[in-house]
Structure formats: C-alpha cells, structure tokens
C-alpha cells in the first residue's frame, strides 16, 4: 500500500524574478520568454512518486506526493491578500533574480519575514537564486551571506530557461517535508 502525502508550497518573491517560469518548468517542462504578471495567485498541481528505499520488489515503500503550488503575485497591490494565500503552507520557495541585486535585498528585508509571520514558523524555506543563465548583478558569495543572515534552509541556483536545478529544487523541498531517508525519486504525474 502506498503512502500519500499532500503538500501546499508557496512560491514568492518580487515581480519578474521568474516564479511562474520556475513553476511552469517544473510542472510542464516548458519555458515562456514572454513576461505576464501574475494576478493574485495561480495554482498548479503535480503528483510525484518516490520510494523509501532502493528495493524494487517491495511495493509497500511507494510514496506518492501530491503537490499544490501557489505561485503568488509579488506586486504591492496584492499585499492585503498574501497572508490568506500563505495559510496552510508546508514549504516555501523564495525566488530572487541574480540579474537584479535589489530582488535579494527585498528577500532579506521583506519576503522571508512575510513568510515567517504568515506561515507555520517551522516550514522549510528554500532560496532559489534564479536566472543563473544570464549576467549576474550579485555574486554567489553575496547570495550565500544573505541566505545565512535570513536563516533559510537551503539555497539552490536555478534557471527556468535552461531547466538548471528546477526539478531538484522542488524535490529538495519535498524531501525536507517528508523526512524519510533515503527518499528516491521515481517519476512524476503518475
């Protein structure tokens, strides 16, 4: 018999950092170069299958994770709704744009605090340093120092355009939530 886990993850950050692109890449494996701002929030779902050990014969070790990803708008006009969108979250991806240093300043000065104030205090938070495929305005060392000050659980450098570490980022957050070791990814959209 399979174990089933249902998780809600929020994806937050300033406008234009690539939140929707990361989510769409993870869900659909696609990238749209045209920017359209999110209105309020967009919801996406995905099911993934894991095994709790390397034994292929034992079906009792199947783990099914059903994700609902909340891609939350970063514009100021949605500030009033954001706390309601955060409710019931099991994990958070906070996204910064490596080509815009100010998006990381906003993470440190607003997004991390906002998530911690409006979510369960113990949820894991991953910092996604996105757009590593273009010229950076902030160094990797500066990102790591900021992440340390913010006490995020993990930093992952990503590119929604090239798919660099996109799947790994969401699977890392799932692993933090499930806390079963070893947890082996089998496939998605089962």
Please report, for the domain that includes residue 149, its CATH number: 3.40.50.300
The whole-model pTM stands at 0.89
| Helix (H), strand (E), coil (C) string for 15-69 | CCCCHHHHHHHHHHCCCCCCCCCCCCEEEEEEEEEEECCCCCCCHHHEEEEEEEE
Angle at 89 between CA 130 and CA 138, to 5 degrees: 20
**DSSP H helical ranges for the chain:** 19-28, 82-86, 101-106, 112-118, 140-150, 166-178
**Closest C-alpha to 128, from 35, 9, 22:** 22
Residue 111, domain extent: 3-188
Which residues touch 119 (CB under 8 Å, ≥6 apart)?
A: 10, 86, 87, 89, 92
pLDDT along the chain (190 residues), means of 10: 92 94 93 69 91 63 93 76 88 98 97 92 94 97 97 97 96 90 75
pLDDT, residue 61, reads 81
pLDDT, residue 186, reads 86
pLDDT, residue 55, reads 52
Q: How many domains does the chain have?
A: 1
């Amino acid at each position: 018999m399979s174990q089933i886990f249902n998780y809600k993850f929020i994806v937050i950050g300033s406008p234009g950092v690539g939140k929707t692109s990361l989510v769409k890449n993870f869900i659909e494996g696609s990238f749209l170069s045209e920017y359209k701002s999110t209105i309020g929030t967009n919801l996406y779902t995905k099911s993934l299958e894991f095994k709790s050990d390397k034994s292929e014969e034992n079906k009792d070790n199947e783990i099914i994770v059903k994700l609902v990803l909340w891609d939350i708008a970063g514009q100021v006009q949605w500030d009033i709704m954001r706390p309601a969108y955060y409710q019931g979250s099991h994990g958070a991806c906070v996204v910064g744009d490596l080509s815009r240093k100010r998006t990381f300043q906003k993470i440190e000065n607003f997004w991390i605090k906002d998530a911690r104030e409006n979510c369960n205090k113990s949820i894991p938070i991953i910092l996604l340093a996105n757009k590593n495929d273009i010229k950076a305005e902030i160094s990797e060392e500066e990102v790591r120092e900021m992440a340390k000050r913010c006490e995020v659980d993990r930093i992952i450098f990503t590119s929604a355009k090239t798919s660099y570490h996109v799947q790994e980022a969401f699977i890392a957050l799932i692993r933090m939530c499930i806390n079963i070791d070893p947890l082996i990814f089998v496939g998605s959209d089962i």
